[in-house]
């Protein structure tokens, strides 16, 4: 972890596109201003973690049960498909 000391109105750069500026220091709080391109999401960590949990839950709920899918398609997924060439013998 890189640890830097900054005073109000001083900044740090993350790469070429993200600037983090110390806007205000008041008691135990530091107010930060973040300038980043629109394609780079910026969230408080607790919000980021909540988004990750929601994404995992959504992905799990979208998993398709292969046996149910076979039933929907009218065949069991573990049964071989009907082959007309074998019937002609």
Q: Which string of DSSP letters, residue by residue, matches 26-56? A: ETTEEEEEEE--TTS----HHHHHHHHHHHH
Distance CA 4, CA 22 (A): 12
Task: Give me the residue spans of the domains in the chain.
Answer: 7-38, 43-77
Determine the pLDDT at residue 39.
96
Q: pLDDT tier at 79 (50, 70, 90 boundaries)?
A: low
Percentage of residues of the chain with pLDDT beyond 90: 61
Using the predicted structure, report yes or no on whether residue 84 has a pLDDT greater than 60: no
Average of per-residue pLDDT values in the chain: 85
pTM assigned to the model = 0.62
Q: What are phi and psi of 3, to 5 degrees?
A: -115, 125
Cβ pair 35, 21 in contact under 8 A:
yes
Q: Using CA atoms, how far apart are residues 19 and 39, in angstroms rounded to an integer?
A: 14
Residue 80 is predicted with a pLDDT of 59
């Amino acid at each position: 972890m890189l640890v830097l000391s900054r005073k109000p109105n001083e900044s740090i750069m993350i790469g070429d596109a993200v600037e983090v500026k110390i806007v205000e220091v008041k008691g135990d709080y530091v107010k930060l201003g973040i300038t980043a391109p629109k394609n780079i999401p910026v969230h408080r960590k607790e919000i980021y973690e909540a988004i990750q949990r929601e994404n995992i839950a959504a992905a799990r709920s979208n998993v398709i049960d292969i046996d149910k899918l076979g039933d929907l398609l009218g065949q069991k997924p573990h049964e071989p498909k009907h082959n007309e060439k074998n019937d002609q013998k």
